Amino acid sequence: MHMRKQNKIIIWPLYFDVTKTRNEGRRVSKTLAVSSPKISELKDAAEKAGLKFEVVADASHPKMPWLKVGMLLVEKNGSKEDAIRKIAKQLLKIRSAASPRDAP
């Protein structure tokens, strides 16, 4: 397991999952959340948001130790909430580009 570093923020896919409640770990409003976000999508969103990060692909969230979902270790530059919000907004753009809802 990784030691906690003061200059890094841990970001889990769970934070952006619309199917989870806040009590279950979701950190963004349902309007900013997506269904079953993958670590690869979080990576793309963090890149587009201009964040410096590393991917830990085999990490398990403490609430679900049996499931290796991966996490991002984001370089701390502002608050964790700011980083989460930036990733969430980019994640929505990625999802809407992948499956346009307005297509005829």
CATH 3.30.56.30 fits 8-95, yes or no: yes
Task: Provide the residue-wise pLDDT of the chain in tens; the chain has 104 residues.
Answer: 455 567 899 999 999 999 999 999 999 999 999 999 999 999 999 999 999 999 999 999 998 899 999 999 999 999 999 999 999 999 999 999 876 655 44
Domain boundaries, the chain: 8-95
Q: Are 5 and 56 in contact (CB under 8 A)?
A: no
Q: What is the pTM of this model?
A: 0.87
Sign of CA pseudo-dihedral 67, 72, 76, 80: negative
